[in-house]
């Protein structure tokens, strides 16, 4: 049971997760997008035809593997528990906001760490926003923020998200119904079997170690506890070594080809949204997938919020663009945040603050 209860063990598990990301990058995933929950859910939304951005459509086996890996390990270790009923529609909004923030920054907290390990200074700046968002969430937690408790539900209900993930995998490998990018990030991927195995392993390890990028910083701020942060450090160190050894380390901003932009304020605000939403929802995008796999209906709804959020981001032009080079003129084209994206980011902050203010712990006497 206690395979993941010390800082060193967590550090090693984080390092193994880093190695999985390294393998996926070597075999075809975009280098600093070897593993990104927001990007991969966005790609999957595209594969399902929920948005029409042709360069980001691919049913990523990694996310499917994460959910199923968490389900299998939790089932095998008798930790699978189907629960739900903790303000599911508020969680849908939190998932939606998390995705808007992530696609303004261009990555989830996991990808932020990967970008940081590749020398991308814009990701280091975005980390400020992520920490501030988590800090804001902690203030609300201390003030009694609560979405209410979850209750046990039928076992099957908690399995639905895993079964849906399996269905998407079967559609991807057995039919040509899903869309698949022929250019851009969506066309860059490791072989399906490798991505799936990587996702399954990552999911199982993340379930055992309770890896959470928001939770790790929340624990440092709230409890002065560095256990969960150890796994993040392990992952970062492995990716840093890989990037240095492979020549992928490029210290700077406006680096073409890494799918990032240098609008610092919006990088900060985008990750602020992700950090705040993650604390209110009880976990970062990765953690939501893992919790959904181990039976949380509430997290499954949060994942659906992220999926729809990703589609809306591309349908309504909220997602930012990355810095690139014009192949003909060789001119640098700076990545940018769209006006719609900026408005959506502000709206998300307001919505999150309203949710945080009005959702308070209720005693039995008060609720009767």
Position 364 contacts another protein (CB under 8 A): yes
Q: Kindly determine how many residues on this chain lie close enough to bind another protein according to the rule CB under 8 A.
A: 36
Euclidean distance between the first and the last CA atom of the chain, given in angstroms as a whole number: 40
Position 207 contacts another protein (CB under 8 A): yes
Tell me the two tokens of residue 64. Answer: 């499917």
Binds another protein (CB under 8 A): choice among 215, 275, 305, 335:
215
Coil/strand/helix, residue 194: helix
Place of tokens 């929340």: 218
Binds another protein (CB under 8 A): choice among 49, 52, 163, 225:
225
Q: How far is CA 75 from CA 66, 79, 119, 283, 297, in A?
A: 14, 6, 39, 21, 15
Q: How far is CA 286 from CA 129, 144, 331, in A?
A: 18, 25, 36
Position 357 contacts another protein (CB under 8 A): no
Position 351 contacts another protein (CB under 8 A): no
Stretch that binds another protein, among 179-187, 214-222, 335-343, 348-356 (CB under 8 A): 214-222
Binds another protein (CB under 8 A): choice among 156, 183, 358, 365:
365
Stretch that binds another protein, among 103-111, 255-263, 264-272, 280-288 (CB under 8 A): 280-288
Letters for 45-74 (x = contact with another protein by CB under 8 A, - = none) are: -----------------------------x
Which residues have a Cβ under 8 Å from the Cβ of 92 and sit 6 or more positions away? 301, 302, 304, 305, 308
d(CA 50, CA 103): 16
Q: With contact defined as beta carbons under 8 Å apart, do 122 and 260 qualify? A: yes
Position 287 contacts another protein (CB under 8 A): yes
d(CA 187, CA 240): 25
Binds another protein (CB under 8 A): choice among 62, 227, 263, 298:
227
Position 219 contacts another protein (CB under 8 A): yes
Q: With contact defined as beta carbons under 8 Å apart, do 335 and 253 qualify? A: no
Provide the binding-site residues for another protein, judged by CB under 8 A: 1-2, 4-5, 74, 79, 86, 141-142, 144-150, 207, 210, 212, 215, 219, 222-223, 225, 227-228, 282-283, 287, 291, 294, 360-361, 363-365
């Amino acid at each position: 049971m206690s395979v993941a209860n010390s800082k060193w063990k967590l550090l090693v598990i984080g390092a193994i997760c880093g190695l999985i990301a390294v393998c996926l990058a070597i075999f075809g995933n975009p280098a600093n997008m070897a593993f990104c929950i927001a990007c991969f859910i966005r790609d999957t939304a595209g594969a399902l035809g929920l948005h029409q951005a042709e360069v980001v459509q691919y049913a990523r086996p990694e996310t499917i593997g994460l959910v199923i890996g968490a389900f299998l390990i939790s089932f095998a270790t008798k930790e699978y528990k189907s629960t739900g009923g903790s303000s599911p529609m508020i969680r849908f909004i939190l998932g939606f906001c998390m995705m808007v923030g992530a696609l303004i920054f261009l990555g989830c907290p996991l990808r932020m760490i990967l970008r940081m390990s590749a020398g991308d200074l814009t990701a280091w700046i975005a980390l400020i926003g992520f920490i501030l968002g988590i800090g804001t969430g902690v203030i609300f937690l201390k003030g009694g923020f609560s979405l209410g408790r979850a209750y046990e539900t039928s076992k099957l209900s908690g399995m639905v998200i895993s079964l849906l993930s399996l269905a998407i995998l079967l559609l991807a490998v057995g039919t040509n119904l899903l869309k698949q990018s022929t250019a851009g990030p969506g066309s860059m991927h490791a072989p399906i079997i490798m991505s799936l195995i990587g996702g399954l392993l990552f999911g199982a390890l993340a379930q055992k170690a309770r890896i959470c990028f928001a939770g790790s910083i929340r624990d440092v701020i709230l409890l002065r506890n560095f256990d969960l942060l150890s796994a993040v450090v392990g992952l970062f160190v492995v990716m840093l070594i890989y990037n240095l050894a492979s020549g992928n380390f490029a210290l700077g901003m406006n680096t073409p080809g890494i799918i990032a932009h240098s609008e610092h304020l919006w990088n900060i605000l985008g990750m602020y949204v992700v950090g705040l939403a993650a604390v209110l929802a009880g976990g970062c995008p990765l953690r939501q997938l893992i919790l959904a796999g181990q039976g949380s209906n509430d997290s499954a709804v949060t994942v659906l919020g992220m999926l729809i959020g990703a589609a809306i981001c591309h349908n309504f032009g909220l997602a930012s663009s990355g810095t690139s080079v014009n192949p003909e003129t060789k001119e640098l084209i700076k990545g940018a945040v769209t006006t719609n994206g900026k408005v959506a980011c502000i709206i998300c902050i307001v919505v999150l603050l309203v949710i945080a203010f009005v959702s308070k712990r209720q005693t039995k006497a008060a609720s009767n």
